[in-house]
Structure 1
Amino acid sequence: MTNWKICTIGDLGMVIGGATPSTKAAENYDGGTIAWITPKDLAGFSGRFISYGERNITKQGLKSCSAKLMPKHTVLFSSRAPIGYIAIANQELCTNQGFKSVVPNDDTDYKFLYYLLKYNKNKIENLGSGTTFKEVSGSTMRDIEVSVPTSIEEQRKIASVLSLLDDKIEKNAS
C-alpha cells in the first residue's frame, strides 16, 4: 500500500500568477512569438495540453508586465472568470492574470498534479472570493490542502491510468 501525505498545493510546486501587457502598446503584441494564454483560450477546450492561445506577446510585452515565462508541463489553472479551467503547457508560455498556474517540483508528477487540480476544482472554486466575480488568490491557491502519494512513482502510476482513459476519450472525440 502506498503512503499518502497531506500537504498544500504550494508544497507541490510554485504557484505563479499571470499578467497582461498594455494593449495600447502595439509593440507588446505585434509580431509576438511568446504564447500567452487567457481563460478564453480554454473555454470549450477539451484537450489536456495547450501550446498556443489566440494571441502571442513579444519579448517587450513580457518585460513590460509581471507575466512570467513558465516551463513546459506547468499546470495552468484559471483563477477567475471562470475558476477551474485546467490545461498542461506543452511548451514554454505565459498567462494573463486570470490564472494561478503551478510549476511542479521535481518530486511532483505534472500529470498527477493536473488530475489533482481537476479533482479539487469545486473545492478551489468554493474558496474564491469577490463581489463582481469570484477569484482565487495566489496565497489561497498555495494553502489549499490536498492528499498525495509520497512516491512520485505512485503519482505516475495513477496519472498513467487516468491518462489512458483521457487518451481514449480524446481519440473517440476526433
Structure 2
Amino acid sequence: MVNNIAHNKYPASVQHGKPRLSPLKEGWRTVKIGDLVTEINRPVEMKDEEIYTLVTAKRSRGGIVKRENLKGKDIAVKSQFYIREGDFLISKRQIVHGACGFVPKELDGAIVSNEYLVLNCTDIILPGFLDLLKETVYFQQICFHSSIGVHVEKMLFKVAQWYRWKINIPTIKEQEKIASFLGAIATRLTQLHRKQELLQTYKRGVMQKIFSQEIRFKQDDGSDFPDWQKKKLGELGSLLGGGTPRTSQSNHWIGNIPWISSSDIEEDSIYKVSITRFINEAAIKESATKIIPPKSILIVSRVGVGKIAVSEQELCTSQDFSNFTPNKGNIYFLAYWFLAYKKKLLSIAQGTSIKGFTIYDLSLLKIDFPHLKEQEKIANFLTAIDQKIEAVGQQIERMEQFKKGLLQKMFV
C-alpha cells in the first residue's frame, strides 16, 4: 500500500483507514473474500470490422457504464474479454477509488481488457448482498490495503492479497432479507435523485423563459408591469475583487473573517456557500483581498467561471472572484439573472490556459432590468423552486446516512 502520502491528501473516494472486522454475529460465519467469488474469463477473438462496446467502472461505486463503441481494428489492446449481465467488475487501477460494480442488462456482451477483474458470486453469497458489501467502509479499506504503488492515482490491485482478507457473512436466507430491505432504501434513493434532477431541469428551463421574457409576471391587480429596461451592471452597484493571503504566513489563517475560494460555491444554486477558512485583519492588509459587505453577489470570474452565490454576511474571497454589491434592484433577482446567463459570463471570459474576466468587463455587462415589484415576484418564484430542491436534497442526505449507519452496524 501507499505509505508516503499524508492522509489529508487522499481524495474523498479513498478509504485508507485500517480495516477492522466486526465481532461475529450469531448465525454468521467468517470466510475469505476469495470464497465469495470466482474469476471469469471469456476471451474475445477480435475482428477488425466488428464493432465492440467498451465500458468503464465509475469511481465511488458509481457503477459500470458505457465508454464508447469501436471497431476491432481501432482497439489498441487486443487482449479483451466479454462481460455478461450480473458479472461483478473491478478496475484494478481504480478500485482504491471504488471503481467497481455489477454489469447491467444493457451492457451484456460488452468487452473489457485484463485491466479489469471479472467475477461471479459463489453459492455462499447473493449478488444483492455483495452489492451491499461493496458500499461498506470495510470493503473499501481492504481494497485499498490490497493495492500497491507510489501514488494514489497509480496503485495496482493485488488480487491474490485481496482474496485473503476475511469477511463475516450471514446465511443465504438472512442475506435475502437484508438485501431486500436495503434494496428498498436504494430504490427510494434512486427515486429521490430522479426527483431532484427533474426539479433542477425544470428550474433551468423556467429561468430561461423568465429572463428571455417569454414568461412575464403580473401586478397584484392583474395589470402588466412596465417593459424591462437595459442597464449596465456598473450602474446598479459596486464591484470588488479578491485576493489570497500569503501561504508562507500561517498565522494569516487564524482569525474571524470568513474567506472563501471558488470551490466553496456550489453549481446551480445562489444560496450555498461553504465557509471553512477564516483570516485576520493582518492578512487583509498584506494581500489584495478586500472585505465584501453583506448582501453581495459572489461571482466566480476565473477558475470555475459562472458560479454564483448571495452572501448574507461580511467576508473575503480569493482572486477568482469579482463581487457585486447592488444598490438598485432585488439582490436575489440579480443573482438568478447571473445564474441564468452563465453563458454570457463565459462569453466575456478571456485567456488561454485559465479564462476569466475583470471587474471592468463585468461593469459593462448589459442586463434587462424589470420593475422592482416584478423582480421580487421572479426572485420569490425561483427561491420556492430552490427550496423544493433543497428539501429533496435533505431527504436524500438523511436516507443515505440511515443506509450508511445500517451498513456500519452490520459489518463493523
- TM, length-normalised to structure 2: 0.40
Rounded to whole Å, the distance in 2 between the matches of 1:148 and 1:55 is 35
Match of 1:33 in 2: 256
**Greater share of strand:** 1
Rounded to whole Å, the distance in 2 between the matches of 1:87 and 1:5 is 24
Rounded to whole Å, the distance in 2 between the matches of 1:119 and 1:51 is 18
- The 3 A distance-change label for structure 1 pair 54 and 100 is same
- Alignment partner of 1:23 is 2:247: yes
Rounded to whole Å, the distance in 2 between the matches of 1:14 and 1:119 is 21
- Alignment partner of 1:133 is 2:357: no
Rounded to whole Å, the distance in 2 between the matches of 1:121 and 1:46 is 10
Q: Would the aligned equivalents of 1:8 and 1:142 in 2 still touch at CA under 8 Å?
A: yes
Q: Pick from 325, 340, 348 the counterpart of residue 119 of structure 1.
A: 340
What are the superposed Cα offsets for residues 122-148 of structure 1, whole Å, 9 maximum, x if unpaired? 111111001111101111111111101
Q: CA deviation at 1:96?
A: 0.7
1:47-86 matched pairs, under 5 angstroms: 47-50=269-272, 52-86=274-308
Rounded to whole Å, the distance in 2 between the matches of 1:51 and 1:90 is 10
Rounded to whole Å, the distance in 1 between the matches of 2:268 and 2:277 is 19
Match of 1:171 in 2: 391
Q: Which has the larger radius of gyration?
A: 2
Structure 1 residues without counterparts, runs of 5 or longer: none
What are the superposed Cα offsets for residues 7-41 of structure 1, whole Å, 9 maximum, x if unpaired? 11212221211111111112311x22111110011
Q: Pick from 382, 403, 406 the counterpart of residue 162 of structure 1.
A: 382
Rounded to whole Å, the distance in 2 between the matches of 1:71 and 1:122 is 27
| Secondary structure of the structure 1 residue equivalent to 2:380 | helix
| Secondary structure of the structure 2 residue equivalent to 1:147 | strand
Amino-acid identity (%): 31
| Secondary structure of the structure 2 residue equivalent to 1:102 | strand
Q: Would the aligned equivalents of 1:71 and 1:93 in 2 still touch at CA under 8 Å?
A: yes
Q: Calculate the aligned-residue CA RMSD, in Å.
A: 1.6
Range 7-16 or range 93-102, more displaced: 7-16
| Secondary structure of the structure 2 residue equivalent to 1:56 | strand
- Alignment partner of 1:110 is 2:322: no
- TM, length-normalised to structure 1: 0.90
Q: Would the aligned equivalents of 1:27 and 1:60 in 2 still touch at CA under 8 Å?
A: no
1:145-160 matched pairs, under 5 angstroms: 145-149=366-370, 151-160=371-380
Residue identity matched to 2:232:
T
